[in-house]
Amino acid sequence: MRESVKINASIDVGKTPFILLLAGIMMLTAVSGPLADRISHAAEQSAPLININIYDSVMLSQQKYLMVGERGEIYFSEDSGANWQSAKSATKNNLFSVSFAGAQNGWACGALGTMLHTSDGGRTWAEQNSGTEKHLFAVDFYDTRNGCAVGDWGTILRTTDGGTTWEDATLSEDIILYGICLTQSHEGWAVGEFGQLFQTRDLGKTWQKFQSPAIQSLFTICGEGESLYAAGLDGAIIYSHDNGETWEESSNLSGKSIYGIDVAGQTCWAVGEEGTVLRSDDSGKSWKSLDVPMQARLFWFGAISIKMKNSTSIGFGAGAHGVMFRIQDSALLWD
């Protein structure tokens, strides 16, 4: 049974929680509204044309960043986020997730079963036939051939040929799946409503429900090595350091819903509603809420991507109306 969310089509998306926007898209192709008060940051300098909601991002290197969002728009930077270019997309549908296998091959998924593929590092994208019109909220690829996507109504798709064909592995129960993470050659995890966890050991052919310490809906999941991190409603964050065999709840949380999470080594970053930015330096056991400008609290952040450089974090975060920050030497830069 899915959670009930009321949608107001005229609501200002700059102040609307990320997950309400996703729920609204199930009823509307797009949700838009006036921008009440744009945050003062480097937009005039680094991204003068980006004024859309950003839902996901990826770092292809320490210099090359890429992000996806509303109306099928895709942007990439080759100078660590200082300047951004628009990629040639193949859709006008909202894009909710992006995943790369290596530096050249990537996939992005979104509303109405949209699936895109790039083979040139994200500069140009072509549409793939996913075989569904259900909204796809997350995609992840283990290598250039094997990947999975998840979405509305328990939808799970899998491919073993780089997305040329997609096989339907949809769950029998009615549940929204928001996140997917492939951890090893044949293993992976999906998360969704009511804190539910699902595990596959055969690259998405079959899925088993796994006991979760969370009861709140989980919107995002990431992993590195044998460590996994999932987060969602009301600031819930759970983690595992044994490839999902056991899970624990994190402490020192903000109480704000988390929409994006990423990990590099023992350092984790998470972002969410009302300008929430969290960092953990002990592999997700505890989290510190970082100070953000007052105006940033009017917006949600849906995307966070990090890497390690000289034992410190670098990367960027983005969200409502293209509001962005950069991370250098583990510190937030609003320029």
- The pLDDT value given to residue 251: 79
> What value does the mean pLDDT take over residues 289-312?
94
Distance from C-alpha of 244 to C-alpha of 22, rounded to nearest angstrom: 27
Distance from C-alpha of 212 to C-alpha of 62, rounded to nearest angstrom: 34
Each residue's pLDDT tens digit, 242-298: 999 999 999 767 799 999 999 998 999 999 999 999 999 999 999 999 999 999 999
- The pLDDT value given to residue 254: 79
- The pLDDT value given to residue 47: 44
- The pLDDT value given to residue 18: 53
Distance from C-alpha of 13 to C-alpha of 300, rounded to nearest angstrom: 9
pLDDT reading at 88 higher than 90: yes
Which residue's entry shows tokens 């990947």?
Answer: 147
Cα separations in angstroms, 13 against 5, 53, 66, 196: 15, 8, 22, 27
DSSP for 102-137?
A: TTTEEEEEEGGG-EEEESSTTSB-EEE--S--S-EE
- The pLDDT value given to residue 186: 85
Each residue's pLDDT tens digit, 135-149: 999 999 999 999 999
Contact between 110 and 96 (Cβ < 8 Å)? yes
Percent of the chain exceeding pLDDT 70 equals 85
Each residue's pLDDT tens digit, 222-248: 999 999 999 999 999 999 999 999 999
Cα separations in angstroms, 210 against 199, 207, 248: 7, 9, 13
Per-residue DSSP letter, 175: -
Per-residue DSSP letter, 88: B
Question: Is residue 240 classed as helix, strand or coil in its secondary structure?
Answer: strand
Question: Is residue 71 classed as helix, strand or coil in its secondary structure?
Answer: helix
Which residue's entry shows tokens 């952040």?
Answer: 301
Cα separations in angstroms, 53 against 14, 69, 96, 247, 321: 8, 6, 10, 32, 5
Exposed e or buried b per residue across 206-241, where buried means at least 16 C-beta atoms within 10 angstroms of its C-beta: ebeebebebebbbbbbbbbeebbbbbbbbbbbbbbb
Each residue's pLDDT tens digit, 103-130: 999 999 999 999 999 999 999 999 999 9
Residue 271 structure tokens:
């972002």
Cα-only R_g, the chain: 18
Which residue did the predictor score with more confidence, 35 or 154? 154
Q: Would you call 32 exposed, middle or buried from its count of C-beta atoms within 10 A (0-12, 13-18, 19+)? A: middle
Distance from C-alpha of 194 to C-alpha of 53, rounded to nearest angstrom: 25
Each residue's pLDDT tens digit, 168-221: 999 998 999 999 999 877 899 999 999 999 999 999 999 999 999 999 999 999
Contact between 191 and 197 (Cβ < 8 Å)? yes
Residue 231 phi, psi dihedral angles, 5° rounding? -150, 160
Sheet with 95-101, strands from edge to edge, namely 95-101, 105-110, 115-118, 126-128
pTM for this predicted structure = 0.88
Each residue's pLDDT tens digit, 1-42: 344 332 233 333 444 455 555 544 443 333 333 233 333 333
